Amino acid sequence: MTQDRPSVLVTGGAKRIGEAISRTFGEAGWHVVIHYNSSGTAAEALAEKLPSAEVFEADLSDTAAGITMIERLAGKLADWRGLVNCASIFDPDDVLALDRQTNERAMQVNARSPAAMAQTYLAHARSKAGRRVIQITDQKLANPNPDFFSYTMSKYALDVTTAMLSMGAAGPDDRVYSLAPGAILASHDQSDEEAEISHRMNLLGRRTPATEVAEAALFLAQGHLASGQTLYVDSGQHLLRQQRDVIYLAREATPT
C-alpha cells in the first residue's frame, strides 16, 4: 500500500490537531503513520477511515522509544517524506515557582524527544523527493505571557531546533520548519462559552479551525518554502501582546 505513496509520521496523530493533520495527509494521498501513546482505540479507528494508514505506539516520555520508532519505520518506508512532531502536553504551572516534575515532563515530551526523533529521521529516513521535518510549536513564540511556564519554555526549545537542524543535519533537498498554531481547540476545563471567546482573541476576530493548521502542514510538506522558517496559523494572534493566556483572558471576560 505504501509503495506508490509518500509516507508521513504524525506524532500524537489520533486526536485533536494531530487527527486533523493525519486526515488531511491521508486524503491528499499520503500513507499516514499515526503515532499514539494512550489513544490506541482512536488511532485504530482513524486508520481504518484513511486510504492508507497504520498505527505505531510509543511513549515519548522515553526518548529511546521515540528513536526506536523512527529507526523501525526508516527500515520499512520506501518514501518517507514527512515527520510531523505534533504530540505535546500542555500542563499549567506558575511563573513564580518552577515545578520540577511539570518542567521535566514538558521538556521531555515537547522538546527532547521530538528533537532526537528529528535527528534520527534525518539520519536514516529515505526519500528521493527530499525529507520534511515539521515541528509544531505555538504562537506564544512571538506573543509570550507568564502562564503555562514550562510548556512555553519547551516550545521555545523545540523551535530553536528548526534552525539548528536546517543548518547542520538537513541535506540540500530536505526542509525543516516550525508550524505555530494559535488557540484552536478547547483546553483543560474551558467551557464552550469560554472557548468561543478565547478563540476569537486575534486580529481577525475569528476561530481558526484545526483544518487550517493541517492544510498548512501539508503545504510545508511540499517544501515550497526555504528551510528554517516558521509559519504561523493563528488569525494574527501572534501579532498581539496578550498579558495572559487566552484561557484566563476569556474566563475574566465571562460573566459569572
Q: Name the nearest CA neighbour of 184 among 228, 225, 215.
A: 215
Average pLDDT over residues 178-197: 92
Does residue 3 have a pLDDT over 90?
Answer: no
Question: pLDDT of 177-186, one tens digit each?
Answer: 999 999 999 9
Q: What is the pLDDT of residue 4?
A: 84
The fold for domain 7-187+208-240 equals: Rossmann fold (3.40.50)
Q: What is the mean pLDDT of the chain?
A: 96
Listed range (131-145, 178-192, 200-214) with the worst mean pLDDT:
178-192
- State the Cα–Cα distance between residues 61 and 71, nearest whole angstrom: 17
Domain boundaries, the chain: 7-187+208-240
Q: What is the pLDDT of residue 107?
A: 98
Percent of the chain residues topping a pLDDT of 70? 98
